[in-house]
Chains A and B, each alone.
Chain A
Amino acid sequence: MGELVDCYAVEIPIKSSNVVLNLVKRSIRDFDSIPLLHLRRLAKPAYLPAHLRVQLPSSDNSPSPTDASTSTGSDTSPSISRSTSPASPTGSPPPTATPRPQTIVLLVCPIHLVSSERLTAILSTAAPFLPSPTLQVSPYPLKLLTLPAPLHPPTTGQAASSWTATHWPTVYKRNNPFGAHPAIVSRAESEIKDVAGKWLQLAQSVGQVCKEQGWGIGAGCVIVERSGGNNGKERSQTPTKKWERVVAVAGDARWYGRPDGTNTAATSQVESNPLAHAVMRAIAMVANKRLALGSDPSKKEQLLSSEPDYPFLSKPLTPLEARYASTTDNLSHNGYLCLDLELYVSHEPCVGCAMAALHSRFGRLVFGRRMQRTGALVAEVQAGKAFVDGGLGYGLFWRPELNWKGLVWQFQREVDTDGSEVCEENGADEPFSEETSV
């Protein structure tokens, strides 16, 4: 199991859990400084290991008649142990006392963040532990538990179940919180490193054409499909010639004129339209292709190259965009969103576009220019810089909390003499390299 960390837990009436959790989050400094996402924040008493369950106020059967009927079964399996519920089928209803509320156990935080005295003081200001003004409901007994919990996430479902039984309800997420396996990264890198420069060059040109029209900042992107998918999965047994092809290209068109002509480049500062960022547009172009692939040929043209659809601008705006957008011959049938496709962007995408790429299930993304104040991919923050100048630090390609992850590289042309190009991985455990001109 590895390292353990001692944590506080407290049993609370289920109805108060939001209030209490809000309170401790607000009151304890660095509350989230140790990520314990693999541990259930709130657990029903029935799902706790027996040695913890017996320490809870709800399992203390002496003072309350409501518990007498159920406490006997309390250390058997969770499904029949209903020590918190007064409505047990086998028990008789309590004659007079107010029924015990349904409870839940809150895992508060590691004990080094706050002393037990201070935590008790904080908790005792929360509603369930205060006497009610009408004195009709007695305050819930405040009892802090201290328990050792696994500090690091489990690597198998089996480990999660066994820790749940011995320590605290633990969740197994089928991924690595620290980044992709190095073998997967190096395999991907070997596939893209010789072509990334070419695609980024195209991305820049695509953005430049739109910029010259006054439509955007000059950012552009290219979506590429690769034979065999991009996880190294060979779809055919016999090795065939490898290929890759451009599926769609799009330039940033955030200042593209509104259909009624009211906004022009002159009013662009107040009218900026993030739905027409390059990545959003290119994703929409792929969607249009998938729709076209699944519809009858007469509708194809309407889907692929009709008039600009403000504000999404998912139809090609320039001949360069049209070259790739107006056909379905450059995309495999039966694909799902942008799964197995690769995204090459001239600039580091903003939060909206980076998450759009995750929603679209891209597995690989390469960007050129680092966007220090708006980019969402780089995880590192430069210390000592004010406001957002040190970077946002989101690392939005590999967040354990999010439901999709991908590989991301910042592309750098090698400065030294041989003129060759290298790809630097912006991995979770590698220091991020300084911005370079592309």
Chain B
Amino acid sequence: MEKREYHEWYMREAIKMAEGALRSDETPVGCVFVRDGKIIGRGMNDTNKSLNGTRHAELVAIGQILQKQPATIFKETDLYVTVEPCVMCASILRQYGIRAVYFGCYNDRFGGTGGVLTIHEDPSVDKPYPVYGGIFREEAIMLLRRFYVQENDKAPEPRQKKARELKTEILPSEIAGPREL
């Protein structure tokens, strides 16, 4: 992949956002939106604090961007996100016309850009966008694992996770993605 270092720099910034989410007891997913090499918006998952299951990192950042800029800006903007966008975010991003999405690891529970569905490239009235996975995948997975050994005390019946251990072994991706960096 060309310009790998360029993409890694922005993914580092996305990981910093995810680390922030972990510190505030949110699912550690973080993202940055980049236009002309400049970060125009940052987001971290906010579902627990907002009590809104749709406040994913991407939507939080989009919300921030749209307060200052028109939606047309997304056509010239790339997203860097630590975990593949979910089905919802993948669709919203497509409706805004995002230029490209770079992500760390796949989401095999509700990923929308290859993990479960391929919302970014399926037939649709909106323009498709390319996705590139695998940038700092291990870091993204370890952040999630660190989170999931904690308990979600907001869930109706919190699962007992006391016995859970933090695993450090990472198997190769089970999903044959579109393109790996």
Contacts and interface: CB of A to CB of B under 8 A. Distances in A.
A337 B53 contact: yes
B39 interface: no
Contacts of A374: 124-125
B37 interface: no
Interface string A346-381: 000011110110111100000000000110100000
Interface size class of chain B, counting residues whose CB lies under 8 Å from the partner chain: 35 or more
Interface stretch (B2-10, B18-26, B62-70, B138-146): B62-70
Instruction: Identify whether the interface residues of B are mostly helix, strand, loop, or mixed.
Output: loop
B124 A336 contact: no
A310 B67 contact: yes
Contacts of B164: none
Interface stretch (A2-10, A17-25, A67-75, A245-253): A17-25
Nearest to B72: A270
A378 to B, nearest CB: 14
B70 A262 contact: yes
B88 A21 contact: no
Contact of B124 (A22, A294, A392): A392
B125 A388 contact: yes
Contact of A104 (B52, B62, B171): B171
B70 A336 contact: no
A330 to B, nearest CB: 16
Interface string A54-95: 000000000000000000000000000000000000000000
A259 B86 contact: no
A290 B125 CA distance: 35
Given A275-B92, A284-B54, A287-B51, A336 B174 contact: no
B173 interface: yes
Interface string A17-40: 110011011100000000000000
B71 A273 contact: yes
Contacts of A25: 176
Given A270-B72, A311-B63, A312-B63, A392 B122 contact: yes
Given A350-B91, A403-B109, A258 B53 contact: no
B156 A339 contact: yes
Contacts of A392: 122-124
Given A270-B71, A272-B95, A284 B156 contact: no
A117 interface: no
Contact of A351 (B53, B87, B171, B175): B87
Contacts of B172: 14-18, 42, 104
B168 interface: no
Contacts of A394: 117
Contacts of B59: 275
A340 B122 CA distance: 32
Contacts of B156: 336, 339
Given A351-B88, A356-B53, A394-B117, 6 more contacts: A42-B172, A287-B51, A360-B52, A376-B91, A401-B116, A402-B109
